[in-house]
Structure 1
Amino acid sequence: MEKEHYTLVLGAGGNIGGKVARALLQQKAKVGVVGRSRNRLADFEGEAELLEGDFNDDSFLRHAFQKANSLFLTVPDEAFADVSATARRLARLLAGTPVTHIVNISNSIVRKAGQSTRLVALEQELNAHLPQHLLHLRCGNFFENLNWGLHTPYAPDLKLPYISSYEVAYEAASHLLQQGFSGRQVKALLGERDYSMKELAAAAGVTYQQLPYTSGNIHFYQPFNEGNFEVEPRTEKYRTGRDARFTLAYFLEHDLQLSQV
C-alpha cells in the first residue's frame, strides 16, 4: 500500500511558514509543522503533527526529515553565516530520507552592491549539494515588511516588487503537494506590480517621510537608492482576482499594524 504523502514545514511558527502550513491543511494534506517553541505551533494542535525542536539539532532535524516526502525550507538567520556549510549539512541530514521535493523561499533581489544576495547564495549552494528536486521561489518584499515601519531610508520614488505572504503560501503549498517540478528551478513571485514607499504610505493614509541613513542600515539601503541592485525579471502575466487576501487592500485593512503608521 502506498504511503500517504506527508509535507514537512520548517519555521511553521513564523509568518510565512505558518501560512504555508495552513494552506496545506486547507487542502486536506498530511502535515508536520516544525518550530522552536510548541507555543508558537499551538494553532496547529489537532490538525498537524507538532515537532518542537531546533534547526541546529542534527538528530531532531534528521528525525523530522524521515517522515516527509515534500519539504518547505526556510532557515534561521544564523544559517547564513556559512551558506555552503548549511547546504552540506542539509544534504547529509536528508540523505536516505523519503524527501524528494523541496520548495525553498528566496528573494527577488538577486544581486546587490555587486554580490549575490544571501538567499540567492544559499540557492546556489543547495543546488550544488542536494540531490532532491528543488524549486526556489524568488519572492518580492512581503507586505508585512511595512509593519517594520512605513517611513524608512528608501528613496520615496524607488519602486520594488511587493507581494502578499498569503499568495506566496498558496503557491508554495500547491507545488509541495503536486510535486510538478524537477531538477533545479526558479519561479518569480513578484505580486501584481512594483510599489514605491511614497505610494505605499499614501495607500495607508499617511505622507511618506524618508529617514536618514544610520551606521547600522546604510549598507542595506544605500545600494537600493543608488540603483546598485538587480531584480528577478517578471516571467509571466500576473493573474488577478484569485483571492482577495493577495491584494494590498486586504493587507492594509486586516494586517497592517496601525501603531507603525
Structure 2
Amino acid sequence: FAVFPLEGVREERVEEAREPVDVQPFVVGVGGSSTDPRHPPAHALDPDLSKVWISTGAFPQFLSMRFRQTIMLYNVTLQCSYVHTVTVYLVAPPRGRPFKALTSQLPATINERDGKISGAIEAYEINLQGFRARELVLEFERGYDDFCVVHKLQIQGNPERDGIDGIGRSGSRGNELMTHKTDRVKHKPPVVSPKQRGREIARPRSGSRSRSTSPTFPTNHPPRVQRLSNGSDVSAKSGSSERIR
C-alpha cells in the first residue's frame, strides 16, 4: 500500500518523558486503503473534524501511521462513524512483522426515533499502554454501513531512544500480551461537530457493500468495550488477542 510523507515534520529532541504526549510530530508517513483526493488518509490526523478520511470500496479497510522512531504507546483516541469492528496491528524492528494487539467490536449509538445507527461522531479510547511500535495499523474489518469515516485520530505515547526496539511491555518477554487487561477499548459519549449537528454524514459517491459474513469472537473472554455514557447501544464482545506468525 502507498505511504504518503507528511509535510512540515520537524526534528525534535527525545527527552526522558514520563507522561504520555501527542506523538503526531513523530509521524513521518500516513497510508490507507482508500485514497480519495478529497478525503486522503492524512486527514485522519488533522485536528479539524470537518477534514475526514472516508473508506471507498469493500471492507476490510485500513489506516497506517509510520513513526520516525520507536514509540512507547499508551492509547489511541479514535473519533469515527460507522465503524463496526477494528483490529490494531503494531510493527517494530528488528523483525518488522505485524503483531495483532487486539480486535474489538465497537458499540454504536442507535437513533431512538427510527431505530437506525446514528451518524454521530463516536469516540473510542484504545488502551495500548506498554507496547512499543515503529508503525501502527488500524484495520476496519466491518462497518455499520457501506463505508466508515475517521474524523480524528490521536496517538499518545513516548518516543524512545535509538536502539530500543521491539514490541511488548517493559519487563515482559518478547511480544507477549498481558491478557489480564480487559478494558482496552472505552466508548466515550458521541461527539458532534457544529457542521455535523442535526444531520448525518453524507454517503460517499463510490463504494461497495461490506462483507456479509459476521466475525466470530471467543466466548471465554469478557468484553473489551466499556460504554461510558447512557443510552441504547449495540452490544459488543471483543476477540482474543493473538500473535501473527
Pick 1 or 2: higher relative contact order, CA cutoff 8 A, min separation 6: 2
Same fold (TM over 0.5): no
The structure whose Rg is larger is 1
